[in-house]
Amino acid sequence: MEALDQHTIVFTGLKDGVHDFDFVLGDDFFAATGVEEYRGGRVKAHVTLDKSTHLLVTNIHVDGEVDMLCDHCNGPMRQPVKGEQRQIFKLTEESETDDDELVSVDPNASTINLTHYLFECISLHLPIRHVHPPGQCDPEVDQALAKIQVEHEPVPDPRWDALKGLQNKTT
Ligand SMILES: [Zn+2]
């Protein structure tokens, strides 16, 4: 997703050491992701940034919920999401991009932007399947689905039973 201004950190003015940043990712953030599945959300992101001469080590923690549709009943639901991710920015003219965790940053740069990493942290920690807690699905859809399942239940073939009876007799 595109970088959002509010996630830009100006690191040139920061002293070496650990700094804390907090972001609130709301409906506007989820709309900006362009992911249709994300219908909104409320996620708090806490970022610690450890600055040294050539490295910016960030730890991103996210905690909140994303509005999605239930995979079972297709009704709206709030999917909790919680997790963390480490991202290291290295101030170097060489572009070493072998490591996912390590990103090269131009040594003349003064800012880094975290939008992409916040997005990544949330998407990586969302479960692939998201359903309502037991008993909280749309009851109408639940009933309709249960009916379909019953109708498609394979009818036991009586010949099998007959065969089984025969086998039991011979052994
Ligand atoms: Zn549901």
CA-to-CA dists, residue 134 to 6, 31, 70, 73, 139, angstroms: 38, 29, 12, 12, 11
pLDDT digits (tens, 9 = 90+) for 123-144: 999 999 999 999 899 988 888 8
Q: Rounded to the nearest whole angstrom, what is the distance from the C-alpha of residue 134 to the centroid of ligand 1?
A: 8
Per-residue pLDDT of 1-59, as tens digits, reads 899 999 999 999 899 999 999 999 999 999 999 999 999 999 999 999 999 999 999 99
57 contact partners, CB below 8 Å, separation of at least 6: 49, 50, 86, 87, 88, 89
What integer pLDDT is reported at residue 33 of this predicted model?
Answer: 95
Mean pLDDT, all residues of the chain: 90
For residue 93, name the pLDDT band (cuts at 50, 70, 90). confident
Q: How confident is the model at residue 97 (pLDDT cuts 50, 70, 90)?
A: low
Question: Model's pTM, two decimal places?
Answer: 0.81
Cα(52) to ligand 1 centroid in Å equals 48
Mean pLDDT, residues 113-127: 96
Mean pLDDT of 83-95: 91
166 C-alpha to ligand 1 centroid (Å): 46
The predicted model gives 153-164 an average pLDDT of: 69
Distance 51 CA to ligand 1 centre (A): 45
